[in-house]
Amino acid sequence: MRIGISCYSTFGGSGVVATEVGKALAARGHEVHILSPSVPPRLLGFEDRINFHEVRATTYPLFEDAPYSIALGSKMADVAEHHGLEIIHAHYAIPHAMAALLARMAVPRLKVVTTLHGTDITVVGSDPSYLPMVRMAIRESDGVTAVSEYLRDETMRTFGVDREIDVIGNFVEPPGQERPDCRAWLAPKSTAVLTHISNFRPVKRVMDVLKVFERVRAEVPVRLVMVGDGPDRVEAEAYCRDRGFASEVRFTGKQLDIGTVLACSDVFLLPSATESFGLAALEAMGHRVPVIASRVGGLPEVVRHGVDGFLEPVGDVDAMAADAVEILRDDTRRRAMGLAARERALGTFAEGPIVDRYEALYRRVLGHA
């Protein structure tokens, strides 16, 4: 098949899922064209059958903002026309799904598959300024997927749509390559490592991560690694300085190779206000790291409470800290949880079977099934 994939070029989340799906499809012999405002970080190497198209919205003095959605729709139509695309797979509804529908009007043989990831439904998508168009995109796409049952149900409830939505979760590959042992870079000997990875947006509740750490450090020797960047980083760093533990918290900024950090972590923290799936939690689990997260959204579909981590109410930093102390004080328990987590991540959420499901969906919408 000849498939176009439209996504944001993020270090995590939908950008990673879209790029890894594209790479896996290319490895299976399909021709893949990725369309994004800049090269997605996971696409930096040269790979066979995978092509990148940069989307740029030309500006003009009359425009208040450059119309990116139209530039994207134009690019999709152009690539579809000249490379014979059969499908556009839009990752994150806004604006990728609407742009794909515009491209389908220009190139009527195109089929549109939309994957809903999270805030495109739960936060921005339900804002009145976008809701009617998101609803239309969900109704008019030839195939729609959501990354968890929670997100599928939430989509039907919020948009009042009654159509088939396939639930296809995020996925991970087995952490194959040898990695440098970075434990000594992160913490002194016999000191545990807590890790958080996110885009530091309000929905991630990074201040809760610090409050959990503050409580844990009163009980056991521990360091905190904060990977990523975003609007709440400045406040988070200031908090660490004000509370006098800045030297115990390492803010790494955005990292492409999160595997190296995860391989040296003892517990992963994800206290989000909402999370449709929680790819970062799954990646931690794939590296045998137990997860402590909020019992919210799709996270209970990923993390089993008491088996591969713990789930607590949003904002309950005392309970999350108590869980972390419990894991860190019992090495046997921590290892057992880590093993269970890895088994679940690489079993239920293995790349191969998940990409099979996307492939099957493409064939279905093309009428090949």
The contact set with ligand GMT (CB under 6 A) reads: 10, 12-14, 17, 92, 117-119, 147, 170, 203, 274-279
Minimum distance between the CB of residue 66 and ligand GMT, rounded to whole angstroms? 21
Minimum distance between the CB of residue 170 and ligand GMT, rounded to whole angstroms? 5
Q: Which residues pair with 232 in a beta bridge?
A: none
Nearer to ligand GMT, 182 or 203 (CB): 203
Minimum distance between the CB of residue 148 and ligand GMT, rounded to whole angstroms? 8
Minimum distance between the CB of residue 317 and ligand GMT, rounded to whole angstroms? 19
Extended beta strands in the chain, E state: 2-6, 31-36, 50-54, 87-91, 111-116, 143-146, 166-167, 192-197, 222-227, 249-253, 267-270, 291-294, 309-312
Cβ–Cβ < 8 Å for 107, 129:
no
Nearer to ligand GMT, 75 or 117 (CB): 117
How far apart are the C-alpha atoms of 121 and 144, rounded to whole Å? 13
CB count within 10 Å of CB 217 equals 20
Nearer to ligand GMT, 6 or 170 (CB): 170
Minimum distance between the CB of residue 139 and ligand GMT, rounded to whole angstroms? 21
Cβ–Cβ < 8 Å for 11, 255:
yes
Tracing tokens 């997260």 back to the chain, one arrives at 293
Reference 338, options 303, 367, 296, 369; nearest CA is: 303
What six digits make up the tokens of 303?
Answer: 């993390």
Phi, psi of 195 (to 5 degrees): -130, 145
Minimum distance between the CB of residue 108 and ligand GMT, rounded to whole angstroms? 29
Nearer to ligand GMT, 147 or 226 (CB): 147
Nearer to ligand GMT, 13 or 143 (CB): 13
Minimum distance between the CB of residue 325 and ligand GMT, rounded to whole angstroms? 26
Minimum distance between the CB of residue 29 and ligand GMT, rounded to whole angstroms? 25
Minimum distance between the CB of residue 354 and ligand GMT, rounded to whole angstroms? 11
How far apart are the C-alpha atoms of 74 and 94, rounded to whole Å? 16
How far apart are the C-alpha atoms of 96 and 104, rounded to whole Å? 12
Tracing tokens 């509804």 back to the chain, one arrives at 93
Cβ–Cβ < 8 Å for 96, 6:
yes
What six digits make up the tokens of 8?
Answer: 């944001």
What single string gives the DSSP state of each residue in 82-112? HHT--EEEEESHHHHHHHHHHHHHHSTT-EE
Minimum distance between the CB of residue 8 and ligand GMT, rounded to whole angstroms? 6
The CA distances from residue 164 to 140, 182, 271, in Å, are 12, 46, 31
Amino acid at the residue 252: T
Nearer to ligand GMT, 197 or 222 (CB): 197
Q: Cβ-closest residue to ligand GMT?
A: 13
How far apart are the C-alpha atoms of 20 and 31, rounded to whole Å? 14
